[in-house]
Amino acid sequence: MQFKKIHSVSIADLSLKVEDYLVISDLHLGYEQSLNADGIMIPRFQYPLIIERLEEIQEKSSCSNIVVNGDLKHEFGQISRQEWNETQEFLEYLKANFDDIILIKGNHDNFTRFIAEKSDLQVEECYQIGDSLILHGDKIPSYLDKTEAENLIIGHEHPCIGLRNGERMEKIKCYLSGKYKDWNLIVMPSFNFVTEGSDILHEKPLSPFLKAIPGGDLEIYAVEDFEVFHFGRIKDIMAVREKFY
Ligand SMILES: [Mn+2]
C-alpha cells in the first residue's frame, strides 16, 4: 500500500511507519472503567477495536516492529483491574505479533513499568529510529539539545479537527506537522476509540511543544480509514474563519 509521507516517515492510518517500525500513541487502555468510576456509563468496547485496527495496519504496512509512544494505559496512580488485564493482554499480543517492541513512558504511565516487566519489556524515555526521535511530548526534555535526529515524533496531544456538518460537529483524528526550533515536529493522533481527541481549531494545545509554536503554523493531515486529507495550515483555516464568521 502507498502511504502519504511527511519528511522521512509515512502515515499508515493511526500509526506512523518509521522504517520497519509502526509507531502508535495514547491507547489509554482502561479509559472506559475510569469513566465508569466517574459515573459515566460507557460500555467497555475499546480493546477489540484496537486489536482489529492494529492487525489491519500491520498487514497493510508489513512492519515487524512496534513503538508505543506513551500513555499505554489511562488511570493515574493506582492500576485498576481492567487496566491491568487489558495492558497485560495487549503486551502479550504485541509479543506474539512483533519482533522488537519499544514502550515509551507517557504521563499516565507511572505504573506501566511493573506491567511491562511481567512481559519482560522495558519502558524507555525516548527512542530513535534513523533520523526520527520518538518521545511522548508531555514535557520538553533536556536531552533534546544533544540529539542529532531531524524529526521529533510526539503524541500526548490527541489532535483532531472539528468540522461543522450542518448542525453537527464532526471530529476527525489528525496529524500535525511543523517546525519546533530546527526540528521537524510531527504530532500523532491517539490510537484510542473512546474519544476523537482535542479539537485543534477550538481548544488550546496541551503539549509544551505545541505551545511553543506561535500562531498555528502547523499543517493538518486528517485520517479516516487509511485515507489522508491535507487541510493546509491551522493558521490559514483560522484566518478564513475570522473572515466569514
Ligand atoms: Mn499523555
Average pLDDT over every residue of 129-157: 97
Could you tell me the distance, in angstroms and rounded to a whole number, from the CA of residue 144 to the centre of ligand 1? 18
Convert the pLDDT of each residue in 29-81 to its tens digit: 988 888 888 888 888 888 999 999 999 999 999 999 999 999 998 876 566 77
Cβ neighbours of 79 (radius 10 Å): 18
Average pLDDT of the chain to the nearest whole number: 92
Ordered by where they begin, the domains of the chain are: 4-244 (3.60.21)
State the distance from the centre of ligand 1 to the C-alpha of 157, rounded, in angstroms. Answer: 7
Question: Maximum CA pair distance of the chain?
Answer: 56
State pLDDT tens for residues 163-187.
888 888 899 999 999 999 999 999 9
Check pLDDT > 80 for residue 82: no
CA of 124 to the centre of ligand 1 (A): 15
Q: How far apart are CA 131 and CA 148, in angstroms?
A: 8
Q: What are phi and psi of 223, to 5 degrees?
A: -130, 135
Residues with Cβ–ion distance below 5 A, ligand 1: 71, 106-107, 138, 156
Q: Residue 30 Cα, ligand 1 centroid: separation in angstroms?
A: 14
pLDDT at 78: 66
| Global confidence as pTM | 0.94
Q: Tell me, what's the pLDDT at 44?
A: 80
